[in-house]
Amino acid sequence: MSVAALEHPPRLWRRAEPRPAYDVVIVGAGGHGLATAYELAKVHGIADVAVLDRGYVAGGNMGRNTTVIRSNYLWDESSAIYEHALRRWEGLSAELGYDFHFSQIGVLGLAHDEHDVRELRRRSEANAVNGIDSEWLERAELAEVCPILNLSPDIRYPVLGGALQRRGGIARHDAVGWAYARAASDLGVDVVEGIDVEAIEVRDGRVQGVRTSRGTIRARRVALATAGRTSLLTEPLGLRLPLQSHPLQAMVSELLEPVLPCVVMSNAVHVYVSQAHKGELVLGAGLDRYNSYARRGSFHVLERQLAALLELFPSFERVRMLRTWAGTVDVTPDACPILGPTEIEGLSVNCGWGTGGFKATPGVGDVYAHTIAHGEPHPLAQPFALERFRAGALIDEFNAAGVAH
């Protein structure tokens, strides 16, 4: 391939100026907003769409996550939507014409005590019933999957076994956002960066549009894809969402030769780690416990995750960390999303993905687009309606969420 062919084009998507009116305004140019716009245009023929972002494409959680993709959730409702997404991931690079390094290197969840063993085995069985690949591996079998993992019985929390989803993996998160932005833009969607949506305009119970830092934009339908900042837009409408926003931090190391063959996650000692294609270790841990919209977190969370990393991988002792950052994640009382229309006609919400929405991106795209296009939830979204908090039909996925909350 010539050097010119390898060069990145100067712009991937049109630099759009906001127009005074659209059929659909999507707030948030993270993966979810962009994937939704793409599906609206491609599948439903609705291209009179603007995606508005106060920052830049994939500058929110989309470009800040640790890129773990898997579908091994416990309950039928959630494993169905995540598996739908995983199947979409498997063909997505070809569909969008962009190589964002989706790699099914496998995701291994470790068990360190009897409770972990019971929960991971239970989840593997539940996954098997739903046709989702997940294998329980005894300690002796783990060395084959991850030779550098510390399997000594003499550590603080010895590894007792693990659940492996071989079809799980990683992808380059920001490039996924760029791929969707380009595809949506090519289909006529306006992707507008640097525009703050200050309020949603509602009259007589019906959405009218949005008031932004660049003037009012009228819209028949407004769809939020604003993750940790969603309540800021819904509260003034009297629409209270059971969401708490927390910082979630991550970090990357210097570049290493390939050493880590799969994603490894441990809820007990609390760290999760993978190796990106370029060679960095990408790792994270639990939430910062307090509520905050600030995209920074506390040092002790970083310190503890590094201690956990060294316990599991003593060979990383001299690895230097290059960068830390944080995103604002939106956590619900059952660690599941809120997805669907609201009591305000024309307004729908997609939020509450918390620490796990990157993997859902392509699934959210078509499920949310369907919801917006038809004014009613896609069958996969139905269990995730806001109504479940009134009805008490919660879907507890805290164990499968993979991040201590």
Q: In angstroms, what is the minimal distance from the CB of 263 to ligand PYC?
A: 8
Site membership for ligand FAD, residue 185 (CB under 6 A): no
Residues that bind ligand PYC (CB under 6 A): 66, 68, 70, 272, 284, 355-356, 402-403
Which of 377/402 has CB closer to ligand PYC? 402
Q: In angstroms, what is the minimal distance from the CB of 255 to ligand PYC?
A: 21
Contacted by 327, from ligand PYC, ligand FAD, none: CB < 5 to 8 Å by type: ligand FAD
Tokens 């000594």 belong to residue: 152
Backbone region of residue 205 per phi and psi (left: phi > 0; alpha: psi in -120 to 50; beta: other values): left
Q: Cα angle at 270 between 269 and 273, to 5 degrees?
A: 120
Cα–Cα distance for residue pair 354/36, rounded to 1 Å? 18
Number of CB atoms found within 10 A of residue 84's CB: 18
Torsional sign, CA 295, 300, 304, 309 = positive
DSSP characters over 124-181: HHHHHHTT---EEEEHHHHHHH-TTS---TTSSS---EEEEETT-BB--HHHHHHHHH
Tell me whether residue 304 is exposed, middle or buried, using C-beta atoms within 10 angstroms of its C-beta: 0 to 12, 13 to 18, 19 or more: middle
Interface of this chain with ligand FAD, residues 3 to 32, rule: CB under 6 A: 27-32
Nearest residue by C-beta to ligand PYC? Answer: 356
Which of 395/403 has CB closer to ligand PYC? 403
The piece of 3-11, 113-121, 143-151, 356-364 that touches ligand FAD (CB under 6 A) is 356-364
Site membership for ligand FAD, residue 225 (CB under 6 A): yes
Which of 165/342 has CB closer to ligand PYC? 165
Beta bridge partners of 27: 52, 224
By the 8 A CB rule, do 185 and 173 touch?
no
The three-state secondary structure class of 290 is coil
The piece of 10-18, 226-234, 305-313, 385-393 that touches ligand FAD (CB under 6 A) is 226-234
Which of 46/273 has CB closer to ligand PYC? 273
According to CB under 6 A, which one of 359, 370, 378, 388 is a site residue for ligand FAD?
Answer: 359
Tokens 């620490």 belong to residue: 355
Amino acid at 61: N
The piece of 161-169, 299-307, 308-316, 354-362 that touches ligand FAD (CB under 6 A) is 354-362
Contacted by 30, from ligand FAD, ligand PYC, none: CB < 5 to 8 Å by type: ligand FAD
Cα–Cα distance for residue pair 342/238, rounded to 1 Å? 12
Site membership for ligand FAD, residue 266 (CB under 6 A): no
Cα–Cα distance for residue pair 156/269, rounded to 1 Å? 9
Interface of this chain with ligand FAD, residues 228 to 257, rule: CB under 6 A: 229, 233, 248-250
Distance set, CA 312 to CA 266, 285, 324 (Å):
9, 14, 20
Site membership for ligand FAD, residue 397 (CB under 6 A): no
Contacted by 229, from ligand FAD, ligand PYC, none: CB < 5 to 8 Å by type: ligand FAD
Site membership for ligand FAD, residue 66 (CB under 6 A): yes
The three-state secondary structure class of 53 is strand
Residues that bind ligand FAD (CB under 6 A): 27-33, 52-55, 59-62, 64-68, 196-197, 225-227, 229, 233, 248-250, 284, 327, 329, 353, 355-359
